[in-house]
Each structure stands twice: as C-alpha cells, then as structure tokens.
Structure 1
Amino acid sequence: MSDELSLFDDPDVRPAQPAPMTDSQRLAIRSAFARLGISTAREQFDVVEKLTGERIAAVSDLTETAAQSLIYGLQSKVRHAGRANTGNSWADRDEDTWIDKL
C-alpha cells in the first residue's frame, strides 16, 4: 500500500466556496436595472433567474460569476432598449459583418 494520501482520505479538503458579488458589480447591476426601469424586487429576481439560470432568495446569494453573467445580459438589454425586434437575427444583429463593411 502507498503512503500517498488520496483526495478522498483528507478530511480538511473542502470545495472552494464561490466568491460573493463585488460592490462594483452590485453598482453596475443597480444602474442597469434603473436604466431599464426594472424597479420591483419581484421583477429583478425574475430577470436574475432568466439571465443567469439561477433562482436566488436574496441579493447576497448572487455569486461573482453569476453577477458577471447578469451584468452582461443587462448591458445587452440596455443596448437594445427601445429598438424594435424584428425576429430576424440578421436584421437584429448588433455589429456589422464583413459584408456590411465592404
């Protein structure tokens, strides 16, 4: 038998806890919600679940990684606010393609 410890034999090894959302992320999220006019907690929690795939019970449950996904999704919503969505992905694209640049 080997003297090496197995990962499963070490009781002090625990999975790393996800980092909580940062203050700057909280500010960015609050700002994006304000720009979008999403002001009630119910609406905000629904948007968090839709954009991150995670249902949270409290704002403090939002991890740094989930907050970054939420910020990205909210920024996209802010960019598209007021624009008509035609349902045509080509017409609704955000950036010019090489064809547009010709």
Structure 2
Amino acid sequence: MYAFERAGVVSQDDREALIESVVVREVASLRELKAVDARRILQRIDGLRGTKPASIGSAWDNREDDTWIDKL
C-alpha cells in the first residue's frame, strides 16, 4: 500500500485498475498474484513516481546536468 501512496495512486479503484492493467487479467484478490506479477506492478509504480511534470522553459533551462559553461 505504501508504494501506491508514494506514487499518488490512492483510491481502491485506481489501484485495482493499475494492477489489472499490468497483469492483463481480472484480479479478485491480491492473493491471486504471483511473485512475477508483484515485481511488474512495483516496476510500473516506480515508473509513475519517476515521471516528472512538464517543465516550463527551453530544453537548455530544463537540463539536469551542468555543462562546461555552468562550471565557469
């Protein structure tokens, strides 16, 4: 449950939809999941957490790494 909350997936319906979209079948209970299913679900959740909101500005303004110019 904690992984869902960190990713912003808080409602039960959203959690169920995410799980079923990953395993591509209906899941009546979490006990039906296999270890491989759980790993794939956690990877999807990590992907949701890793997405960044769209930045405003140019690609130059939004770069993450410093260039040689920044180090002057």
Aligned residues: 54
> Structure 2 length as normaliser, TM-score?
0.63
Matches within 5 A, 1:1-102: 30-80=1-51, 82-84=52-54
Bigger radius of gyration, 1 or 2?
1
The alpha carbon displacement at 1:63 in A equals 1.1
Structure 1 residue ranges (4+ consecutive) displaced by more than 4 angstroms after TM superposition: none
- Could you say if the C-alpha distance between residues 35 and 55 of structure 1 is closer, same or farther in structure 2, counting changes exceeding 3 Å? same
Distance across 1 between alignment mates of 2:25 and 2:41: 10
Q: Structure 1: where are the runs of 5+ without partners?
A: 1-29, 85-102
Task: With the length of structure 1 as denominator, give the TM-score of the two structures.
Answer: 0.47
| Residues 38-74 of structure 1, C-alpha deviations (whole Å, 9 max, x = no match) | 2222111101011222320111111111111101111
Identity score, percent: 17
RMSD: 1.4
